[in-house]
Amino acid sequence: MNYLAPSILSADFAALGEAVTLVEAAGAPFIHVDVMDGHFVPNITIGAPVAKSLRKHIKGVMDVHLMIENPDQYLQDFKDAGADIVTVHYEASRHIHRTLQTIRSLGMKSGLSLNPGTPVEVIECLLDEIDMVLIMSVNPGFGGQSFIPYALEKVKTVKELAKKHNKELLIQVDGGVGLHNVKEVVEAGANVVVAGSAVFGAEDVTKAVQEFIALMNE
Ligand SMILES: O=C(CO)[C@H](O)[C@H](O)COP(=O)(O)O
Ligand SMILES: [Co+2]
């Protein structure tokens, strides 16, 4: 089974509850929440209070992608907000092993995200602490960017590592994924696909979600 995670980054921020309800009704099992602080990435979005309000509308998995400096400082807040998965960036934590351990100790699934410029090999010594690897296929900060093809090579490497070390590992790809390339992304080994602009920018959001899910599980 492969999972679609619509990113609310491209939804109307004044109507996030409705956005979540719409994509869940269409069959999306994860809701991807992009948290940006204006320091780690050059954009600011939302924080734990908004995630907490949103939680009341989410029936499935709340998948929080932290693009922030000092993630350790906010892990408890996202636990309190009801996050199921919290993903932190390798590049944002000085003691990433400890950060991942803390996420799990709070009772959430731990995700590790790699920027396009970070070699995939860094995950090897962290695999015991990770429930999900997020391969960024754009430089984080904005929706609607173009997919960086080399991400597929990184996904293939993660898939090989997962076969050896953790068959349950979730492998997520985020950035520039649309109906035109989602099959390629899944074939490379991704089992969780984030899509923001291709879902919320579509003329018919319900149809877009359904088409994604059909292509991902053919
Ligand atoms: O983390 C992100 C950006 O940093 C977003 O999740 C991602 O960009 C989704 O948007 P799109 O599908 O439009 O590329
Ligand atoms: Co994201």
Mean pLDDT, consecutive 10-residue stretches, the chain (218 aa), reads 98 98 98 98 98 98 99 98 99 98 98 98 97 98 98 98 96 98 98 98 98 97
Instruction: Quote the pLDDT of residue 87.
Output: 99
Pairing of strands 30-36, 3-6: unpaired
Q: Give the active site residue among 37, 63, 131, 174.
A: 174
Mutate to test the pocket of ligand 1, among 65, 132, 174 (most ligand atoms within 8 A of CB): 174
Annotated binding-site residue numbers for substrate:
7, 65, 141-144, 174-176, 196-197
> What's the pTM?
0.98
Cβ proximity of 19 and 200 under 8 Å: yes
Instruction: Quote the pLDDT of residue 6.
Output: 99
Instruction: Quote the pLDDT of residue 92.
Output: 98
Is residue 154 within 6 Å of ligand 1 at its C-beta?
no
Is residue 138 within 6 Å of ligand 1 at its C-beta?
yes
Mutate to test the pocket of ligand 1, among 9, 136, 146, 199 (most ligand atoms within 8 A of CB): 9
Q: Residue 127: which CATH number?
A: 3.20.20.70
- Which range marks the domain in which residue 99 is found? 3-216
Could you give the number of structural domains in the chain?
A: 1
Instruction: Quote the pLDDT of residue 89.
Output: 98
Instruction: Quote the pLDDT of residue 42.
Output: 98
Instruction: Quote the pLDDT of residue 90.
Output: 98
Identify whether 34 is a catalytic site residue.
Answer: yes
